[in-house]
Amino acid sequence: MDTPSATVPMWKAHLISGYQAFRAGEYRERKDLYERLGQEGQTPKVMLIACCDSRCEPSDIFNAHPGEMFVARNVANIVPPQNMATDFDGLSAALEYAVLELKVEAIVVMGHESCGGVNASLEGVGENPDSYIGRWISILNSARDRVVARTAKEDQSRELEYEGVRESLGNLLSYPYVRERVKDGDIALVGAYFSIIRGVLMFADDKGQFHEIAPVAPTAPIAPTE
**Whether residue 65 lies in the annotated active site:** no
* Residue in 14, 23, 36, 55 annotated catalytic: 55
SS3 199: coil
Q: How far is the CB of 47 from Zn ion (least distance, A)?
A: 18
Q: How far is CA 111 from CA 49, 58, 163, 182, in A?
A: 9, 11, 9, 21
Residue among 115 and 140 whose Cβ is closer to Zn ion = 115
| Residue 30 exposed, middle or buried by CB count within 10 Å (0-12, 13-18, 19+) | middle
DSSP secondary-structure letter at 101? I
* Residue in 73, 112, 158, 166 annotated catalytic: 112
Q: How far is the CB of 121 from Zn ion (least distance, A)?
A: 11
Q: How far is the CB of 114 from Zn ion (least distance, A)?
A: 8
- Residues pairing with 72 in the sheet: 49
Rounded CA gap, 23 and 17, in Å?
10
**108 contributes a contact to Zn ion by CB under 5 A:** no
Q: How far is CA 186 from CA 107, 179, 180, 182, in A?
A: 11, 10, 9, 6
**Whether residue 23 lies in the annotated active site:** no
Strands of 113-225 (E only): list them.
188-195, 200-204, 210-212
Residue 70 phi/psi, 5° resolution?
-95, 110
Q: How far is the CB of 3 from Zn ion (least distance, A)?
A: 35
**169 contributes a contact to Zn ion by CB under 5 A:** no
Residue among 160 and 187 whose Cβ is closer to Zn ion = 160
**Whether residue 150 lies in the annotated active site:** no
Contact pick of 51, 147, 178, 201 for Zn ion (by CB under 5 A): 51
Residue among 187 and 192 whose Cβ is closer to Zn ion = 192
**Whether residue 56 lies in the annotated active site:** no
The residues that are catalytic are: 51, 53, 55, 112, 115
Contacting residues toward Zn ion, per CB under 5 A: 51, 53, 115, 117
